[in-house]
Structure 1
Amino acid sequence: MCKQSIYNCIFYRMCSAFRSYKRLGGQSKGTKLTWIPAQCAQQPGSLDCGYYVMRFMYDIIMNHGNSQDLTKDFSRTLPYSAEEINEVKDFWADYFMNNVEFLA
């Protein structure tokens, strides 16, 4: 278990993996990773965390797939509206109703 903050643990492991990947490709030295902390909507409570994650993934795919400026595109910190969260709930419910066979 990493005794540092979770951010530092992830940072160290990602940098290590990147260096290993470069070495496997025959490059002894490579450019260092530049970390840009992404911002995301901050949830006000603890009940909708899964929906916040799904909404953030949805936003990435639908709105930022061809992003040229991650700092600008991922700068939202305001909570999602109830309408935005309900949209994810509706997508998820619709998917299950149309694609999952229920045992009766």
Structure 2
Amino acid sequence: MQDNYALWFCSLHRPPPTQLRQAIDCSIPASMMMGGRSIVNSRKIAWISLKCNRQNGSYECGYYVMYWMTHIIRSHITSRWETRFKTTTPVPEKSLLIIRNAAAKYIIRLYNSS
């Protein structure tokens, strides 16, 4: 993230926990200092809370994260986040099933290769 953005997705539509925000806000200056760079010109992280699909149940959050990650990577999304994530309807069950199956196949493949 070259412009120091922190994107927040929450399928329960909750704000980021204060402790998480503080840890991430400190990460850029800490990384710069550890790399021997000056933090004088470091910009504060801009937090962007995106509208995202709201889950219906209590167990789907991990699948929602995988759904969004897959969407971001496949669509090469690197900007204009607010225009790309603007729906609060639940992810269709068929899409969640595809994500679950892909994750299960990947885990089985890893297990069988070790």
Say yes or no: TM over 0.5.
yes
Q: Counterpart amino acid of 1:7?
A: P
The structure with the largest alpha-carbon Rg is 1
Between Structure 1 and Structure 2, which shows a larger proportion of strand residues?
Answer: 2
Residue among 82, 87, 104 paired with 1:76: 87
Alignment of 1:1-104 (within 5 A): 7-23=17-33, 24-63=36-75, 65-96=76-107, 98=109, 100-101=111-112
Identity of aligned residues (%): 22
Alpha carbons 1:22, 1:29 under 8 Å: kept: no
Secondary structure, aligned partner of 2:57: coil
Q: Tell me, which stretches of 5 or more residues in structure 2 are unaligned?
A: 1-14
RMSD over aligned CA atoms reads: 2.5
> Residues 59-95 of structure 1: CA distance to partner in whole angstroms, max 9, x if unpaired?
12112x2432112122232100111111112323443
- Equivalents in 1 of 2:58, 2:26: separation in Å? 33
Q: Contact between 1:67 and 1:73, CA under 8 Å: does it hold in 2?
A: no
Gaps of 5+ in 1: none
TM-score in terms of structure 2 length: 0.66
Which amino acid is the alignment partner of residue 95 of structure 1? Answer: Y
- CA apart distance, 1:100: 3.7
TM-score scaled by length of structure 1: 0.71
